[in-house]
Structure 1
Amino acid sequence: MKNVHKLTEGAILLAAYTVMLLITIYVPILGAFVNLFLSLPFIMFAAKHNRQSSLVFIVAATFLSLIVGTLLAIPLTLAYGLTGLVMGDFVRNQKGRAAVFLAGTITFLLNLVAQYAVAVAFFKIDIIEQSVDLVRESVDQSMSILSALGQEQNAVLLEQLNAGIELLQSLVPSLFVMISLGTVFLIQLVSFPIIKRFGVNIGEWRSFRELTLPKSLLYYFLFALVASLFLQTDAGGYIHIALTNILFVLQLLMVIQGLAFIWYFSHLKEWPKALPVIVTVLVFIMPFLLYIVWILGIIDLGFDLRKRMIK
């Protein structure tokens, strides 16, 4: 009887996944929203059943994807399916929301990197290089139009644009991490309220204002900053790319720490709840605020600013 129930539940979830996959592939606008729910059937199944059953489930989902979809369906199933299974397995073992988020992010990131490597190695398709070339062509065309109109090219602006393109190309590993973090966050945001309604215990998030990153990150940040200032590295070299990405990720973490402190301070002062939300939005719109929050995060992490305020 138990196996019959498992098979029935698995069939229903596979049917739901197939419908969502078809919408994602063939209905562009609606599919952009529906693809966030692709991990939901996998999370629900893995949260209730063991790993062996989950493995059979994703094999069946991959086989169905090959039948009803295109070649694009296989990478989608592997990325969202494996991520969902890992998240569901962590939910079933009551690992906590933070652990579920971290495991899901790592799984999605590994899928992203692996699929990019396969596309480059076997299909000679490098989306990143093609995107960079497209941006360079757009810049060159814009400069050609300005020359045709009789206006002089701004050498400083052209140099800044080229430097920005090179920086973007160097930050590809960090962009992969950001994409993975953002995707898994959205998957949790839309999926967990649904599986909670089906009686699955998913745990609770700690409040954002209580977030405190490990203090060791500050030492890593200072070390990377000093290394980038004193090490003479070639642009495009492995050391340069590694330091650029490490600094980018650590700076982002310091901004998050600073925002968490603002939310904590607002709660402590009993200010309106809308205020920290407005500040958070403004930080990503106004660059000068970003630097202020970044410095605030460093001070909070390095000098235990919250404990000093309580005292």
Structure 2
Amino acid sequence: MKGKVIFEWFFWILLSVLMFMAGIEIAFLSPLIILAAPVPLMILVCRQGVREGTLGAVFGTLFVYVIMGPVSAFLYTCEFALLGLLMGILMIKIRSGADYVIFALLASLAVKMLMMGGFHYAAGVNPFMMTPEAAQGLAASVSAALSQGGVSVSPESVNEYVETMAQTVSLMMPAMLILFAAADTMMGYVLTRLYFKRAGGVKLPALPPFVHWRFPKNIFWALLAALILDMASKAFPDDGLYRMLSLNLMEVLRGIFLVEGLSLLWYFMSAYKVNKALRVILTLFCAFFAPVSYVLSMIGIFDIWYDLRRRIKLRRK
């Protein structure tokens, strides 16, 4: 029995390290791997406890350090080892699914800020800002791609486009961090629950079915604050703080409204007994296809305020 436990311990650590190496070497897999990065350590903590999970995080970090060097070891420590350990601890300590999501989101944000702070300390570069060198390289890449496609544009137009995009990315970095933290929190939760749904043996915090997800009306106070900040940014154009706060708050709210709209879409697809695999495909398509996601965000706002599920259900009756 002890040998089986040790083998399982090595298995989850090795899987975590292999996922990290695959994310480094295979570019197109990196986004999915990063989102699922905490899962092996989460499962290890849930199955064997905090002490074994901590030892596993340390062992995995040392292994990556020996094989790939200190920079890779630091990246692995933050996104794979530390985040997986924290999320695993939260998963076995917290009984409410909603509370787990909130605290895991905060943990994910803290780890990402630690990673970016470490990068800033080591490299002397603000990770929230795009450097002029990076902007120039991006402009050259865009110009080359357009030239190969037979599109002729002036260098001034390309530089203006890249400069605008660089400013937007720098301004939107806080919202991007929050949304990405929400994404890896939910991915870790879903994959870990799917594993234990088959393996059994551990009781995990449960969220309500996606069809019943609804956000409280209090969220509209945040929307009002975003609108006020937007008006302040127009009244005081020289103060960039108002614009940054407005853009980031609005982007996070758009993500929340999109989730509400997707939940409503799932409700109707479930009511009409659409195949589950098709439901998943349509939901992912609507989430990532910009025109549809925008419409669903607008519908999500109406659903929070009017509870369209209840009203449409009453009409059908």
Does the pair score TM above 0.5?
yes
Partner-residue secondary structure (3-state), 1:215: coil
Aligned to 2:274: 272
Q: Does residue 1:285 correspond to 2:294, yes or no?
A: no
Aligned to 1:25: 21
Aligned to 2:306: 303
Partner-residue secondary structure (3-state), 2:211: helix
Aligned to 2:241: 238
Compute the displacement of 1:44 (Å): 2.9
Compute the displacement of 1:260 (Å): 1.6
Kept after mapping to 2: 8 A contact 1:257/1:301: yes
Residues 9-88 of structure 1 aligned to structure 2 (within 5 Å): 9=5, 12-14=8-10, 16-18=12-14, 20-21=16-17, 24-25=20-21, 28-29=25-26, 32=30, 39-48=38-47, 51=50, 54-71=53-70, 72-88=72-88
Compute the displacement of 1:228 (Å): 0.5
The answer for unaligned runs of 5 or more in structure 1 is: none
Compute the displacement of 1:220 (Å): 1.1
Residues 140/277 of structure 1: CA separation in 2 closer, same or farther (3 Å cut): closer
Compute the displacement of 1:38 (Å): 5.0
Residues 253/141 of structure 1: CA separation in 2 closer, same or farther (3 Å cut): closer
AA in 1 matched with 2:139: V
| Superposed CA offset, 1:120-155 (max 9, x none) | 123324555457743444336766998xx9x67497
> In 2, distance between residues paired with 1:85 and 1:142?
40
Aligned to 1:184: 185
Q: Does residue 1:207 correspond to 2:209, yes or no?
A: yes
Compute the displacement of 1:92 (Å): 2.2
Larger Rg: 1
Kept after mapping to 2: 8 A contact 1:43/1:85: yes
Aligned to 1:112: 112
Compute the displacement of 1:110 (Å): 1.1
> In 1, distance between residues paired with 2:225 and 2:34?
40
Residues 96/83 of structure 1: CA separation in 2 closer, same or farther (3 Å cut): farther
The answer for unaligned runs of 5 or more in structure 2 is: none
> In 2, distance between residues paired with 1:164 and 1:152?
17
> In 1, distance between residues paired with 2:36 and 2:312?
42
State the superposition RMSD in angstroms.
3.9
Residues 133/207 of structure 1: CA separation in 2 closer, same or farther (3 Å cut): farther
Percent identical pairs in the alignment equals 15
AA in 2 matched with 1:272: V
Partner-residue secondary structure (3-state), 2:26: helix
Query: What is the aligned residue count?
Result: 303
| Superposed CA offset, 1:248-289 (max 9, x none) | 101221122122222223434x253446853651463242x3
AA in 2 matched with 1:58: A
Kept after mapping to 2: 8 A contact 1:255/1:290: yes
